[in-house]
Amino acid sequence: MTVSAIRPVFPAIQRKRLLVPVGRIAVGAACLALWQFGTIAIGPRWLPGPADTVGRIWELAISGELFRDTIVTFAEAATGMIVGGVAGAALPFALRLSPRLLAALEPLISAAFGLPKLALAPLFILWFGIGITTKVMFVASIVFFLLFYNGLAGILSIDPRLVAMLRVAGASEWIINREIVWNTAKPFLFSGLKIALPRALSGAVVGEFIAADSGLGWYIQNARSINDATGVIAGVAIVTVLVMAVNAALQRVQARSLAWRPIAKDMAI
């Protein structure tokens, strides 16, 4: 950028360009400072400082406990995702075949969406005990409804004129399914999957809050019950970082494949 080519307005723009990243770092630093100040003011028993938190995370990492608990939670989330995801994604396709059934079930489906799935946790404990199955079923129920909702929205958005056109052209049901149904539902399902993974993780953690003997959620809850504030914050921090990392990774994948989708759809979180 030669000076002569720059009109007088450029330095202002340059200043503005720097202002945002600097501002962000400043806000981040201010938050950390506030945290530390809070620790001093309220006392480390209630609000462990950033240093303590990091120290505890480090301990957990070294001792291997972090790894063990993370694996448990991840396993529950992944299994639940597969079980719930397959069922949730497949059902709309099946229901599509009978619009009459779909219309008949509609109020029941709406009511089912109304129930906060998290309330089912104790019922699952009753049914499946405190073992892994409970958490898996719990995650599965969350993911099932998510993908079912999204898949249904996708199926309902199919343009019947397109289907009619293909039928007139002599296409078989199989081809119609592949060409129109699958392609219309695909972006909805993918968007559902993208939301489902972090939800599955946090679902597994919440399930562990209520009944578990291992896993990240168990660690947090256990720490709280023995008033180990550092443990609670460290655990929460780990879960947060994990979920955000998964979110970010999925964001990358989505940005590349489905960049055209409007923001509003994602907002359904």
Partner 1 sequence: MKWSVLIDRFIAFVLVIAGWQVCSIYFGPIWFSSPLRVLDRFIEEARSGDLWFQTEYTLKAALYGSLLGGIPAALLPFALRRHPVASAILDPYLVGGYGVPKLALAPLFILWFGVDLEPKVALVASIVSFLVFFSTAAGVSAVNAQYVSAARVFGATERDIARHIVWPGAIPYVFAGFRIAVPYAIGAAVVGELISANRGLGFLVQSGATDFDTTLVFVALTTLTVLVVTINLFVSRCERWLLRWRPPQQRLAAGAAGA
Give the residues lining the site for partner 1 (CB under 8 A). Answer: 16, 19-20, 23-24, 26-28, 31, 46-47, 100-101, 103-108, 110-123, 125-127, 198, 201-202, 205-206, 209-210, 217, 220-221, 223-224, 227, 229, 232-233, 236, 239-240, 243-244, 247-248, 263-264, 267-269
Residue nearer to partner 1 on the CB measure, 116 or 170: 116
- Supply the minimum distance, in Å, between the C-beta of residue 227 and partner 1: 8
Alpha-carbon torsion angle 77, 79, 80, 82, nearest 10:
120
Residue nearer to partner 1 on the CB measure, 27 or 71: 27
- Supply the minimum distance, in Å, between the C-beta of residue 122 and partner 1: 3
The pair of three-digit structure tokens given for residue 246, joined into one six-digit string: 């998964």
Residue nearer to partner 1 on the CB measure, 93 or 209: 209
Residue nearer to partner 1 on the CB measure, 177 or 254: 254
Residue 67: burial class (beta carbons within 10 Å; 0-12, 13-18, 19+): exposed
Cα 177 to Cα 224: distance, rounded to the nearest angstrom: 51
Q: Is the dihedral of CA 64, 67, 70, 72 positive or negative?
A: negative
Residue nearer to partner 1 on the CB measure, 93 or 128: 128
Q: At what angle do helices 183-210 and 65-96 cross, to 10 degrees?
A: 140
- Supply the minimum distance, in Å, between the C-beta of residue 8 and partner 1: 20
- Supply the minimum distance, in Å, between the C-beta of residue 133 and partner 1: 14
| Exposure string for 132-156, b = 16+ CB within 10 A, e = fewer | bebbbbbbbbbbbbbbbbbbbbbbe
